[in-house]
Amino acid sequence: MNSADIKTVKSILSQPQKIAIIPHRNPDGDAMGSCLALYGFLKATGHTVQVVAPNDYPKFLKWMPWNDTVINFERENPKAKEAINEASVIFTLDFNDLSRVGQMEAVLQEAEADFIMIDHHQQPSDYAKVTYSDVSMSSTCEMVYNFINFLGETELIDADMATNLYTGIMTDTGSFKYRSTSSKTHRVVAELIDKGADNMKIHQKVFDTNSPSRLHLLGVALGNMVILPEYRTAYITLSQDELDQYDFKKGDTEGFVNYGLTLEGIIFALIFIENREEGIIKISLRSVGDFSVNEFARAHFNGGGHTNAAGGRSEVSMEETISKFNEILKTYKSKLNP
């Protein structure tokens, strides 16, 4: 944030505000961690605050401090709309375009509040009064820590805020292994541990709560993996029938896409997941090195994200989607084999 933006934010927050904090649709650990940490901070500084999530999120995140205060827009629509319409300030966290909130978009478009965006994805839209965007950051949670630091208020970060921030940084960095994990990230994490974040307990709550059905679904996913060594690519498919067979719950396929990248020589990995209710194939893309899955997703699958992690979607069948992908992949052979 530049000095002008910091001054603007300090002015806005200098008097009590009604604040809504919004993550993206299908919120992950970074989205919920940043929203719940900011919730705690803004409550501590005298504001009336509400987190409004566009839809549900995985069970392995629902232990986080202040989780029980979150309003689900899909399930509690009147209450969610009221919180947004009454807000004088709206923070949007971990996304940079209002299309990323699904059905909530129209409500946000009509809101008269001042918007403040905190996000680390590429190509931000210009809807916010204050935009804090930095694609070099490991996570939005690291940015929320910086945001609090810019305001000179890090002494207010307690164990609950630290726990939420640590959770988001840990999940969005692949447990601190991605390129965006900087020395500064580690210094922030050290500060969060000093403030009460229990790193072992957080890791266990996020990663060590699998159900037998989730592990069986992982077995199916790995059995479906297709390896294309000439393109240094591996992809997984999961049909709706396979999800149903193993009692799929939101978040069960989290991390499955990364298994492709554990193969020697593979630098591009994808997972294609059928969602019959929405009529789409949801696509997650990962890479290592300089191959940009953000550019690939934006160009071919209505998506985007980061250089090494992105999402997309297809509105045709799984068979047609895979056929399209295989044809597109042929044009990337040289980029995948530099």
Hey, where are the domains in the chain? Answer: 3-207, 212-336
Distance CA(122)–CA(140), nearest Å, equals 13
135 — pLDDT class (breaks 50, 70, 90): very high
Distance CA(274)–CA(314), nearest Å, equals 9
Distance CA(20)–CA(22), nearest Å, equals 6
Q: Say what the pLDDT of residue 338 is.
A: 85
Report whether CATH 3.40.50.80 matches the domain 212-336: no
204 — pLDDT class (breaks 50, 70, 90): very high
The answer to whether the 3-207 and 212-336 domains have the same CATH topology is no
Mean of the per-residue pLDDT values for the chain? 96
| Per-residue pLDDT at 305 exceeds 90 | no
Instruction: Tell me the C-alpha to C-alpha distance, in Å, between residue 93 and each of 53, 108, 160, 251, 301.
Output: 11, 13, 18, 19, 23
Report whether CATH 3.90.1640.10 matches the domain 3-207: yes
306 — pLDDT class (breaks 50, 70, 90): confident
> Which strands sit side by side in the sheet containing 71-72, from one edge to the other?
71-72, 48-53, 18-22, 89-93, 114-119, 130-133
| Per-residue pLDDT at 179 exceeds 90 | no
180 touches 173 (CB < 8 A): yes
